[in-house]
A and B are shown apart, each in its own frame.
Chain A
Amino acid sequence: MSIIAPIGTHKKGGGSDALPDRFIHRSKKGITREIVEEISAIKNEPVWMRELRLKAYEDFVRLPVPTWGPDLSGLHFDEITYYQRTEEGRYKSWAEVPADIKDTFEKIGVPQAERAFLAGVIGQYESEGFYQKLRPKWEDKGVIFCDTDTAVQKYPELVKEYFMTKCVKASEHKLAALHGAVWSGGSFLYVPKGVHVDMPLQTYFRMNARASGQFEHTLIIVDEGASVQYIEGCTAPKYNTSSLHAAVVEIFVKKGARARYTTIQNWSKDVYNLNTKRSIVEEDGIQEWVGGSLGSKTTMLYPCSILKGRGARAEHLNIAVAGPGQHKDTGAKVIHLAPQTSSTVISKSISFGGGISTYRGQLKIVKGATGATSHVQCDALMPDNISVSNTVPYITVDEEDVTIGHEAKVGRISEEQVFYLMSRGLTEEEAINLVVQGFMEPVIKTLPLEYAVELNRLISMEMAGSLG
Chain B
Amino acid sequence: MSTLTIKNLHVTLEGKPILNGVNLTLPQGKTHVIMGPNGSGKSTLGNTILRHPQCAIAKGSITFGTKKLSSMKTDEIARAGVLLALQHPQAVSGVTVTNLLTIAMRKFCADGVGIGTCGRRKSKGFKMAHFREQIKDTAKALHMPDEFLSRSLNEGFSGGEKKKMEILQLSLLPAKCVIIDEIDSGLDIDALKLVAKQISKLRAHGVSIIIITHYNRILRWIQADKVHILHKGRIIKSGTDALAKDIEKNGYSEYIKETV
| B104 adjacent to A426 (CB under 8 Å) | yes
Which residues of chain A (414-443) have a CB below 8 Å from chain B?
414-417, 419-428, 430-431, 434-435, 437-442
Interface string of B86-109 (1 = CB under 8 A from A): 101110111100011101100110
Which of these binds chain A: B23-31, B35-43, B46-54, B226-234?
B46-54
A431 to B52, CA, bound (A): 14
Nearest residue (CB) in B for A379 is B93
A contact residues, total (Cβ < 8 Å):
24
A462 to chain B, nearest CB (A): 18
Q: Which residues of A contact B99 (CB under 8 A)?
A: 434
Does any Cβ of A come within 8 Å of B79's Cβ? yes
The answer to whether the Cβ of B78 comes within 8 Å of any Cβ in the partner chain is: yes
- Bound-state Cα–Cα, A437 to B100, Å: 12
B75 / chain A contacts, CB cutoff of 8 Å = 422-423, 425-428, 430-431
Q: Are B73 and A440 in contact (CB under 8 A)?
A: no
Q: Which residues on A sit within 8 Å (CB–CB) of B88?
A: 416
A 427-468 binary contact with B (CB < 8 Å = 1; else 0): 110110011011111100000000000000000000000000
Contact yes or no, A438 B93, CB < 8 A:
yes
Is the CB–CB distance between A417 and B78 below 8 Å?
no
A/B pair count, beta carbons within 8 Å:
75
Contact of A415 among B50, B53, B94, B101 (CB under 8 A): B53
CB distance from B180 to the nearest CB of A (A): 13
Contact A422 B74 (CB under 8 A): yes
Check B196 for interface membership: any CB of A closer than 8 A: no
Q: Are B103 and A426 in contact (CB under 8 A)?
A: yes
A440 to B92, alpha carbons, bound, how many Å? 12
Given contacts A415-B54, A416-B90, contact A424 B95 (CB under 8 A): no
Question: Once bound together, how far apart are the Cα atoms of A439 and B155, in whole Å?
Answer: 13
Contact of B73 among A420, A421, A422, A424 (CB under 8 A): A422
Assess the A434–B92 pair: CB atoms within 8 A. yes
In the bound complex, CA of A428 to CA of B51 (Å): 13
Cross-chain contact of A420 among B86, B103, B173 (Cβ < 8 A): B86
Q: Scan residues 74-132 of chain B and give those whose CB is less than 8 A from a CB of chain A.
A: 74-75, 78-79, 83-84, 86, 88-90, 92-95, 99-101, 103-104, 107-108
- B-side interface size class: 20 to 34
Main secondary structure of the interface of A (DSSP, over half): helix
B171 within 8 A of A: no
Residues of A within 8 A of B89 (CB): 420
CA distance A440 to B95 in the complex (A): 10
Q: How far is the CA of A437 from the CA of B153 in the complex (A)?
A: 13
Tell me, rounded to whole Å, the shortest Cβ–Cβ distance linking B175 to chain A: 10
When the two chains form their complex, are residues B93 and A420 in contact, meaning their CB atoms are under 8 A apart? no
B92 touches which of A420, A422, A423 (Cβ 8 Å):
A420
Contacts of A440 in B (CB 8 A): 94
- A441 near B104: Cβ-Cβ < 8 Å: no
A423 lies within 8 A of B84 (CB):
yes
CB 8 Å contact bits of B59-82 with A (1 = contact, 0 = none):
000000000000001110011000
Is there a chain A Cβ closer than 8 Å to B3's Cβ? Answer: no
From A414, A421, A425, A431, give the contact of B173 (CB < 8 A).
Answer: A425
In this complex, the member of A416, A424, A431, A439 whose beta carbon has the largest number of chain B beta carbons within 10 angstroms is A424
Nearest Cβ on chain B to A111's Cβ, whole angstroms = 26
Contact call B53/A438, Cβ cutoff below 8 A: no
Nearest-Cβ distance from residue B7 to partner chain A, whole angstroms = 22
Q: Once the chains are docked, how many angstroms separate the CA of A438 from the CA of B95?
A: 5
Q: When the two chains form their complex, are residues B74 and A419 in contact, meaning their CB atoms are under 8 A apart?
A: yes
Q: Are B79 and A425 in contact (CB under 8 A)?
A: yes
A439 in contact with B94 (CB, 8 Å): yes
Partner of B74, one of A423, A434, A435, A441: A423
- Report the separation of the CA atoms of residues A430 and B99 in the bound assembly, to the nearest whole angstrom: 13
Q: How far is the CA of A414 from the CA of B54 in the complex (A)?
A: 12
Q: How far is the CA of A435 from the CA of B90 in the complex (A)?
A: 11
Residues of B within 8 A of A442 (CB): 94
Minimum distance in angstroms from A419 CB to a CB of chain B: 6
State the CA gap A415–B95 with chains docked (Å): 17
A419 & B92 in contact (Cβ 8 Å cutoff): no
- Report the minimal beta-carbon distance from B115 to chain A, rounded to whole angstroms: 14
- Cα distance A438–B97 when bound, in Å? 12
Q: Are A423 and B78 in contact (CB under 8 A)?
A: yes
Residues of B within 8 A of A431 (CB): 75
**In the complex, A441 Cα to B92 Cα: how many Å?**
11
Taking CB atoms, residues of chain A closer than 8 Å to B74 are 419, 422-423
Contact A434–B95 (Cβ < 8 Å):
yes
CB pair A426 B152 closer than 8 Å: no
A4-18: CB near B (< 8 Å → 1, else 0) gives 000000000000000
Residues of B close to A417: CB separation below 8 A: 90, 92
Chain B residues within an 8 Å CB radius of A426 = 75, 103-104, 107
B253 to chain A, nearest CB (A): 33
Other-chain residue from B52, B78, B92 in contact with A438 (beta carbon distance below 8 A): B92
Known: A415-B54, A419-B53, A434-B103. Is A424-B78 also a contact (CB below 8 A)? yes
Residue from the list A423, A437, A438 in contact with B50, Cβ < 8 A: A423
> In the bound complex, what is the Cα–Cα distance between A424 and B152 (angstroms)?
16
Task: Name the residue of chain A whose CB is nearest to the CB of B89.
Answer: A420
B174 nearest in chain A by CB position = A425
CB B112 to nearest CB in A, in angstroms, measures 13
Is B86 a contact partner of A423 (Cβ separation < 8 A)? yes
The answer on a CB contact under 8 Å between B152 and A438 is yes
CB distance from B45 to the nearest CB of A (A): 15
List, in ascending order, chain B residues with CB within 8 A of A435's CB: 92, 95
User: Inside 8 A of A414's CB, which chain B residues have their CB?
Assistant: 90
Contacts of B44 in A (CB 8 A): none
Cα distance, A431 to B73, chains bound together (Å): 13
Given contacts A422-B73, A424-B101, A439-B93, 18 further A-B contacts (CB under 8 A): A416-B90, A417-B90, A417-B92, A419-B50, A419-B53, A420-B90, A422-B78, A423-B75, A424-B104, A424-B169, A424-B173, A425-B107, A425-B173, A426-B75, A426-B104, A428-B75, A435-B92, A440-B94
The 9 closest A-B pairs by CB, nearest first: A438-B94, A441-B94, A438-B95, A422-B74, A425-B78, A420-B90, A424-B104, A422-B75, A425-B104
A-B contact pairs, 28 of them (CB 8 A): A414-B90, A417-B90, A419-B52, A419-B53, A420-B90, A422-B75, A423-B50, A423-B75, A423-B78, A423-B86, A424-B78, A424-B100, A424-B169, A425-B75, A425-B107, A425-B173, A426-B107, A428-B73, A430-B103, A431-B75, A434-B92, A434-B99, A437-B95, A438-B152, A439-B93, A439-B94, A441-B94, A441-B95
